[in-house]
Structure 1
């Protein structure tokens, strides 16, 4: 207590000296406020340094602003700002005591009445002043004391700046280090940091940070930071476009393209990879479309593919295409008589670069192309063939699977060599594409349980095997069983694990139901019904499921709402249905490749041809060519699929 009393006594002495100096300056007619402040500062320094119980370290770099402005030639005095808070508090206490001892001038009653009035008023004033002094930093102050509290808080912040020598909301580190710190923030946090100060805004809008965010979102991944400016605007434009595409998907707004049918032929097989769509016809030709560039060209078959079947009862029939597949660089087609043609997409040649005939005279049952290697994988009967291209020539490797190959799926992870999963009736094996006959790993083998379909995922290194009424999941690296998925009542007709999000798989069943699973649980998390016939193809993403059936219907389901958004119908079965972020490609292949034609029909009617449709949801076809005066500005009802804005054409007049 003695140390505290010594400290208070010295501060009161300093305040009285400061008041006497100010009164002496006013009597002489001169303004001595700055000198009084300097003398008070000097006395504060002396009093603090002489006090034995108070040990405070001064900052020599802090100079009183009043002394620097009024006496530029004199030696600057050191000012320690935290003492200003104590000074203000002592001033506040001294003023409160003066008000407590003052008498109301309006009181003119003498005697006991006056004393009673003063006695009644003094405790109230004393209580009020003590309450204000106690809660000086709280929110209990009145309207008159708000300015006093704000001034004290401002001084407190300035004192923190001087003590720590770090400006408030500012960065005094190199810009490169600050960018390294800011790169751990996401897009929302960067936008919030840009509102703090000008220096933080300059850091939060750096091109390196927004280029990294743009690449993480999947936009402009092939471009470097120095190749483009205004990366923040690029991110904003892409996000706006993505939201518009999402809205068009839900409301079925987009541009519909019917790919031109090849004259004189019936569609036999459809496959797509990215923006490339390939289709094979009964004439033996293959037509390829580049959807993005709106280009198309016809690939002619080789001479070996024009073999006719002389053993047929009707004499001769056309050797039509049974299946077609495409990749980034090549297109391959398998013919009914066991022939295979391979074309290169790069260049202007329409003739196949490679052709071969199955030596065992078996029909080609499966055909696929590698996306990383220039190789063609085929399955005919129990034999598996891999055709590698080395030094401009194709070399063939063959392996006998001992049983007829039923299903095949490519497994091409980025961390290990590519391989192919081959399924027979009861067994699934994994073959290395580079050493086909030497590296074979058996993953699944259960007798008397026929395998209906298989699929793989390179992201999670998982193999899915569909049995009669369940799906078994295996880890490809460890060959261990992960999970069994139940809930199907009949045989599984199709499933998709490769294009599904992580920890998800979607299946289509003969019981006409679409089921979505989380592979960490055994039961389905969502189930959709609406197909009239068997489901032939399924695919899903984060918020929707697209399914196609044998009846020609394509349904789009909303996962969150667990309901159907819209549907598309065609007379022929859906054999190919694949979607990307902004496109949906549907291939309807007729069941009858050679329908009976009337004698009066000179060409194949379009109801027998089949068709390929491409839906582009990045373009709103409903509003193209419509004047702005005919478009409404209010929100349309979500339950309608029609543009009701045309009913009110005068909203923008």
Structure 2
């Protein structure tokens, strides 16, 4: 028998099987099936298997975990999920389980469905229409009437994020676009938006060991909530409440996470001449910074333990938050300072006097005066060696921070004055008094806009370093005009999803960009396509002056003295997310 060829054995086996009844064949088939299945990945060394799985996207990993026990162990390996989190810039923060002091609701008004800088009521005509600043004239504290304008919150949502519900107003509402109805949340003692998650008891996040799969799935869940407009709306401040709150219009805000403790707070600047620091866990003011500005605080920037504030008193004040004292007062501008930004190396400010000024740390000695704009410079942003400024002259200018030279000028970037900008190289996001926003790649001249009119605008791009001049019509180099709404494709412009008034504040995120407008709404757009993914309204009764956001919430302030928090993390723990 052993000398017979293999084919003879195959033929013999087949004939034997063919002679059996069908029921017996089915039994043999079930017994043979495991012998025919071979788990190649599972049979490899774990290191090799993990290397194979490392090329899979997260949905595929979740499916792999359902195959068998061996694959479950491999697909749940923390190294795989850490790599996925690292690729998205998501990091684990060891949560602290110290509960905050008891919070009382006495300072909060009931919330009914009945806020980087801004101004109060408009009581004058805009300046010259040809060089309009992007804002209406506003009256500040004091006797004189000033036309002021500032940029959007340049806080880049990439470095900050988190917090949970700690103090729901009596009529706390949960919104979801899936039902398009309001569901009244069951009131909970001491439970509010997601300013840190404090409602966790013994959860998977309580372990001292990071759970990167949990981190990744939580981030994905937060993104889905944004896409479905599932949020809880609450007010950190309403007019006159809580005690020790701002007493006038709130122009600017920024979320800030202290590096040493990981605690996230909110800084706000107001027409009452003060900057206030809010504890997002308790909803109370923890610090009032005042006594230096003699008029409205129009812009703030917080970074690395330092706060800079700019005001209509023409001052830029730099504060040391740890020592709680003034580091320097700068009074070089000749008119209202509309925006201030800084990084590790330099501070940049812009003004109604049409200039941008730069100062070098640590002494903050003057460096450059950039004076090419023809109208008020409403917004400025900085990223390493590049400075971007936006003006009422409708242009955006790109500067070399090290030399002060103008690198590029984007004329007629909007059809009216530019009110706000945010900069994340190579992209510039801008909002304008033409009611539109625009995302633009300064290297490829491609991007998207909510305006259908860019095709007819003459947008020249000039280089200031002796290079050839590029002249292109805005939109002719890959610019897509979008109307948003239901994540529709390019070219579908629907007026009902666009802003109906000046876009006062814009902010960059990794997946989304946000815009806040005088039309009392905040809109969330897909960063890549420009499609509208969420429309947040009902929070403000006055114009929105500033917005900020992280992966768990959106915050806004405005002329109605409200600070609104749109919480997308309600109901689950986010204390382990590094904001």
TM-score, with structure 1 as normaliser = 0.47
Counterpart for residue 513 of structure 1: 436
- Quote how far apart the aligned CAs of 1:432 are: 1.3
**Does 1:464 pair with 2:385?**
no
**In structure 1, which of residues 400, 423, 437 is the aligned counterpart of residue 365 of structure 2?**
437
Report the Cα distance in structure 2 between the residues aligned to 1:515 and 1:231, rounded to whole angstroms. Answer: 38
SS at match of 2:380: strand
Report the Cα distance in structure 2 between the residues aligned to 1:400 and 1:282, rounded to whole angstroms. Answer: 19
Report the Cα distance in structure 2 between the residues aligned to 1:396 and 1:294, rounded to whole angstroms. Answer: 29
**Does 1:296 pair with 2:313?**
no
- Quote how far apart the aligned CAs of 1:575 are: 2.1
Structure (1/2) with the larger helix percentage: 1
**In structure 1, which of residues 417, 421, 427 is the aligned counterpart of residue 348 of structure 2?**
421
**In structure 1, which of residues 215, 223, 231 is the aligned counterpart of residue 211 of structure 2?**
231
**Does 1:579 pair with 2:549?**
yes
CA-to-aligned-CA distance 1:605-624 (integer Å, 9 cap, x gap): xxxxx43322223338xxxx
Counterpart for residue 205 of structure 1: 76
Report the Cα distance in structure 2 between the residues aligned to 1:381 and 1:504, rounded to whole angstroms. Answer: 32
TM-score, with structure 2 as normaliser = 0.52
Contact map agreement 1:207 1:229 (CA 8 A) in 2: no
**In structure 1, which of residues 603, 614, 637 is the aligned counterpart of residue 565 of structure 2?**
614
Q: 1:494 to 1:230 in 2, by over 3 A?
A: closer
CA-to-aligned-CA distance 1:136-190 (integer Å, 9 cap, x gap): xxxxxxxx9xx99xx9xx89x99xxxxxxxx9545565x5676567556553454
Contact map agreement 1:255 1:616 (CA 8 A) in 2: yes
**In structure 2, which of residues 207, 218, 225 is the aligned counterpart of residue 245 of structure 1?**
225
- Quote how far apart the aligned CAs of 1:420 are: 0.7
Q: 1:183 to 1:437 in 2, by over 3 A?
A: same
Counterpart for residue 268 of structure 1: 249
SS at match of 1:209: helix
Q: For residues 125-524 of structure 1, what are the structure 2 equivalents within 5 Å?
A: 168-169=40-41, 171=43, 173=45, 175=46, 186-188=57-59, 190-191=61-62, 199=70, 201-214=72-85, 216-217=87-88, 221-223=92-94, 227-228=207-208, 231=211, 234-235=214-215, 237-239=217-219, 241-249=221-229, 253-257=231-235, 259-262=237-240, 266-269=247-250, 271-274=253-256, 276-278=265-267, 289-291=278-280, 293-297=281-285, 332-333=289-290, 337=294, 368=300, 370-374=302-306, 376=308, 386=318, 394=325, 396-397=327-328, 401=332, 403-404=334-335, 406-412=337-343, 417-423=344-350, 425-437=353-365, 440-441=367-368, 444-446=370-372, 449-458=374-383, 462-467=386-391, 468-474=393-399, 476=401, 481=407, 484=410, 486-497=412-423, 503-522=426-445
SS at match of 1:267: coil
- Quote how far apart the aligned CAs of 1:211 are: 4.2
Contact map agreement 2:555 2:566 (CA 8 A) in 1: yes
Report the Cα distance in structure 2 between the residues aligned to 1:406 and 1:260, rounded to whole angstroms. Answer: 27
Q: 1:457 to 1:88 in 2, by over 3 A?
A: farther
Q: 1:481 to 1:619 in 2, by over 3 A?
A: same
Report the Cα distance in structure 1 between the residues aligned to 2:396 and 2:447, rounded to whole angstroms. Answer: 11
Report the Cα distance in structure 2 between the residues aligned to 1:91 and 1:180, rounded to whole angstroms. Answer: 41
- Quote how far apart the aligned CAs of 1:433 are: 2.0
Q: For residues 72-87 of structure 1, what are the structure 2 equivalents within 5 Å?
A: 87=5
Q: 1:542 to 1:205 in 2, by over 3 A?
A: closer
Report the Cα distance in structure 1 between the residues aligned to 2:312 and 2:271, rounded to whole angstroms. Answer: 21
Root-mean-square deviation (CA), in Å?
A: 5.1
Report the Cα distance in structure 2 between the residues aligned to 1:477 and 1:184, rounded to whole angstroms. Answer: 41
Q: For residues 622-637 of structure 1, what are the structure 2 equivalents within 5 Å?
A: none
Which structure has the larger Rg over C-alpha atoms? 1
Contact map agreement 1:421 1:431 (CA 8 A) in 2: yes
- Quote how far apart the aligned CAs of 1:493 are: 1.9
Q: 1:278 to 1:243 in 2, by over 3 A?
A: closer
Contact map agreement 2:82 2:213 (CA 8 A) in 1: no
Counterpart for residue 314 of structure 1: none
Contact map agreement 1:554 1:568 (CA 8 A) in 2: no
Report the Cα distance in structure 2 between the residues aligned to 1:466 and 1:182, rounded to whole angstroms. Answer: 46
Structure 2 unaligned residues grouped into runs of 5+: 15-24, 96-204, 257-263, 452-494, 572-579
Q: 1:176 to 1:540 in 2, by over 3 A?
A: closer
CA-to-aligned-CA distance 1:340-375 (integer Å, 9 cap, x gap): xxxxxxxxxxxxxxxxxxxxxxx5776645421446
CA-to-aligned-CA distance 1:230-281 (integer Å, 9 cap, x gap): 93762475156325522442xx653433635436984232524255345577
